[in-house]
Amino acid sequence: MGFDMRKKADKVAYENAINDLAVAEIEKQARVDPETVRTFRNALSSGIMNTILMGTPADKPIITDGIVYIPMRVARQFGMKEDKEFKGYARIENALLGLPFQFYSYSFAALNKITAAYGHGQLKNQWIATALSMGLGYMVLQYKTPDFVKIDFEDQFARAFDYSGIAALYSDIFYTAMSTSLALGGPNITGGALQPRFPQEPDALDAATGVLGAGPSIAADLGRGVYDLTTGNIGEGTKQIIRNLPFARMWFWKGKMNELTNMIEGELDDGIGFGRY
């Protein structure tokens, strides 16, 4: 009996020692500011009653804020130091890391609120939801496509699926991969079954800006316009710069803006009108 009592006492002492070590380790961890907790909860609940999808902190990866954590087995080879807060990882923080994710707020939100809803069976009728989404996507396609552009049925179906938001992020990655492959001089990844959103000629700069996002893309367009101006292609350079000015592509005057820039390009290249001065 005495031996059993001592055994139980040793076991209790061992468990108490383990508990003390666990409590001490917890106390060493950095505390989260209550204000931070409230801010995060408000951000999570901000879009609950909103029909316009916007990415919340729960939807977007931290790289959209320019933060990346790299395992030390990789970071150590580049002389990077371990992060003080997250053991085993090195931290990189640079706003430029978020460039590829500009204007991806909807895509990240749709991934959780639409695509995940399909996968988890949250929709009461998936067929009706799919049909409505495809119908709205087709309406967007018809609105954005000029009358003189003819699109095959399979491309219309794929583009309507892309615009529907059913698989917003994945379909965007698919079309970006297709354009990047063509820009690098590679093949159409669908074997010609589908065509890219826009005609794409081999161009390494287009391949880079397609991945890097909207900011580098518009900077490259303006740079091309300046290059054309300085190398004598005044009409094309002027058109390129004007079309990339702020608010130049607003939907209600985009057509008029295209007509104006085409007229300016023709007159400058022909050496009449504006070209006389």
> What tens digit of pLDDT does each residue of 210-266 get?
888 888 888 899 999 999 889 888 888 888 888 888 888 777 787 788 888 888 777
Q: Which of residues 203, 230, 249 is at a domain's end? A: 203
Residue 42's domain comprises: 19-101
C-alpha dihedral sign at 268, 270, 274, 275: positive
One domain, residues 48 and 69: yes
One domain, residues 178 and 231: no
If one counts every other C-beta atom within 10 angstroms of the C-beta of residue 137, the result is 21
Higher-pLDDT residue of 68 and 43 is 68
One domain, residues 248 and 229: yes
Mean of the per-residue pLDDT values of the chain: 83
Inside any domain, residue 1: no
Please tell me what DSSP assigns to residue 29: S
Q: Which of residues 47, 66, 101 is at a domain's end? A: 101
Inside any domain, residue 108: no
If one counts every other C-beta atom within 10 angstroms of the C-beta of residue 59, the result is 22
Q: Are 173 and 181 in contact (CB under 8 A)?
A: no
One domain, residues 90 and 153: no
With tokens 């204007």, the residue in question is 103
Inside any domain, residue 265: yes
One domain, residues 269 and 248: yes
Inside any domain, residue 131: yes
Q: Which of residues 53, 68, 101 is at a domain's end? A: 101
> What is the Cα–Cα distance from 276 to 270, expressed in whole angstroms?
10
One domain, residues 152 and 132: yes
42 pLDDT above the threshold of 60: yes
Number of structural domains in the chain? 3
Inside any domain, residue 77: yes
Q: Which pair of structure tokens corresponds to residue 81?
A: 């130091």
E-strand stretches of the chain? 67-71, 89-93
| Residues 95-127: tens digit of each pLDDT | 888 888 888 888 888 888 888 877 777 777 788
One domain, residues 217 and 152: no
pLDDT band at 68 (very low <50, low <70, confident <90, very high): very high
Query: How remote is the C-alpha of 158 from its chain's centroid?
Result: 20
> What is the Cα–Cα distance from 103 to 59, expressed in whole angstroms?
14
